[in-house]
């Protein structure tokens, strides 16, 4: 059945893939973007109804949710998640939206040192009080992390000791999100931890990357103060740095580890493994190599 769906964060990683998939499946998709620019032209060309708006502005959300059956909500790790969530929930309720898929994260819990992870947990609780049916997704670290942190040197300098996770690609998360939006009822009230194909530590991740890139990639475990310096040099926001330092400790303690079959069961595909993801993004790695 064709549905009227809204994707918030449509210029982002999970929102972008979700928009594409929903359009491919014949749904009518409205894409909320902060501004019309080169990135949004592609969404329009694919058939999305691109509208400008801001999740910090209730009025624009009220407009964007008109006539919508279900929506996907994601917000970056930035200040303002609480306001954004409350605005979105209010607009969805006012306009009779029947289902929300809410991006959270695996480390979301009440007693966490990360402000961003705690805010995700509170955002989940706010949405649980909404009359709209909600499904929370809680992915582990994205595979895209292996792009974000790539400095071209072939060394992964990260503070993760020998902790483990199964990196999950945004495109695989989109499969799950799109399937829930298309048929939300069985998923109402559920919280889904999402994982990629294989759980690995960063020594093993580096080996997989080496195979895919046919060059040496080495994991260099570092301490938190060095990680903080790297992030500050990159201009990372204080909110994100606070989050990443806190979840690095979580990571060492196994909070990001685990596996399940939800990508296959709900999304209908086998998730990408590290080799598959890096091979897909080979041109990026070839471009940024020193
Ligand atoms: N990365 C990880 O390893 C990881 C792991 C688990 C969970 N998560 C969760 O994933 C979420 C991020 O998802 P993502 O990576 O798909 O997103 P993303 O690529 O960071 O994109 C964020 C999207 O939100 C839009 N946006 C930002 N501020 C907005 C505003 N005020 N109003 C409307 N739109 C706004 C951005 O628009 P512009 O393009 O205009 O900026 C962009 O489209 C975070 O909540 C994070 O906690 C991430």
SS (H, E, C) 45-85: HHCCEEEECCCCCHHHHHHHCCCCCEEEECCCCCCCHHHHH
Q: What DSSP character marks residue 142?
A: B
Determine how many CB atoms are found less than 10 A away from the CB of residue 119: 22
User: What pLDDT is attached to residue 46?
Assistant: 97
Atom 35, ligand 1: residue with shortest CA distance: 9
What is the distance, to the nearest Å, from the Cα of residue 95 to the centroid of all Cα atoms in its chain?
26
The residue extents of the domains of the chain are: 4-139+170-194+258-267
pLDDT, tens digit, 9 for 90 and up, residues 3-57: 999 999 999 999 999 999 999 999 999 999 999 999 899 999 999 999 999 999 9
As a whole number of angstroms, the distance between CA 218 and CA 7 comes to 38
pLDDT, tens digit, 9 for 90 and up, residues 195-245: 999 999 999 999 999 999 999 999 999 999 999 999 999 999 999 999 999
Q: Which helix (H) or strand (E) holds 249?
A: helix 238-252
Cα–Cα nearest to 39, from 9, 66, 80, 59:
9
Beta strand residue intervals within the chain, DSSP E: 4-8, 28-33, 49-52, 70-73, 99-103, 133-139, 155-158, 164-165, 191-194, 200-201, 218-221
CA of 76 relative to ligand 1 center, distance in Å? 3
Residue among 39, 54, 74, 127 whose CB has most ligand 1 atoms within 8 A, to mutate: 74
Q: Which CATH class is domain 4-139+170-194+258-267?
A: alpha beta
Residues 6 or more apart whose Cβ sits within 8 Å of residue 276: 197
pLDDT, tens digit, 9 for 90 and up, residues 62-111: 999 999 999 999 999 999 999 999 999 999 999 999 999 999 999 999 99
């Amino acid at each position: 059945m064709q549905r009227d769906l809204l994707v918030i964060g449509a210029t982002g990683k999970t929102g972008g893939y979700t928009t594409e998939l929903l359009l491919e499946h014949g749904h009518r998709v409205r894409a909320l973007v902060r501004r019309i620019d080169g990135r949004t032209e592609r969404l329009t060309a694919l058939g999305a109804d691109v509208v400008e708006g801001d999740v910090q502005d209730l009025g624009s959300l009220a407009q964007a949710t008109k006539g919508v059956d279900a929506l996907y909500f994601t917000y970056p790790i930035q200040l303002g998640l609480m306001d954004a969530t409350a605005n979105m929930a209010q607009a969805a309720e006012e306009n009779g939206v029947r289902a929300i898929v809410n991006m959270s994260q695996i480390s979301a819990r009440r007693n966490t040192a990360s402000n961003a992870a705690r805010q995700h947990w509170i955002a989940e609780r706010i949405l649980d009080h909404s009359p709209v049916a909600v499904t929370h997704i809680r992915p582990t670290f994205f595979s895209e992390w292996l792009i974000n942190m790539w400095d071209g040197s072939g060394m992964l300098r990260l503070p993760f000791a020998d902790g483990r996770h199964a990196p999950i690609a945004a495109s695989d998360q989109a499969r799950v999100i799109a399937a829930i939006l298309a048929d939300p009822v069985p998923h109402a009230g559920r919280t889904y931890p999402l994982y990629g194909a294989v759980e690995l530590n960063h020594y093993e991740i580096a080996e997989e990357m080496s195979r895919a890139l046919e060059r040496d990639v080495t994991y260099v475990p570092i301490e938190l103060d060095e990680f903080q310096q790297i992030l500050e040099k990159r201009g990372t926001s204080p909110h994100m740095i606070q989050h990443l330092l806190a979840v690095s400790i979580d990571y060492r303690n196994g909070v990001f580890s685990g596996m399940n079959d939800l990508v296959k069961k709900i999304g209908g595909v086998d998730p990408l493994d590290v080799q598959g993801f890096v091979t897909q993004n080979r041109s990026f790695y070839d471009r940024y190599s020193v």
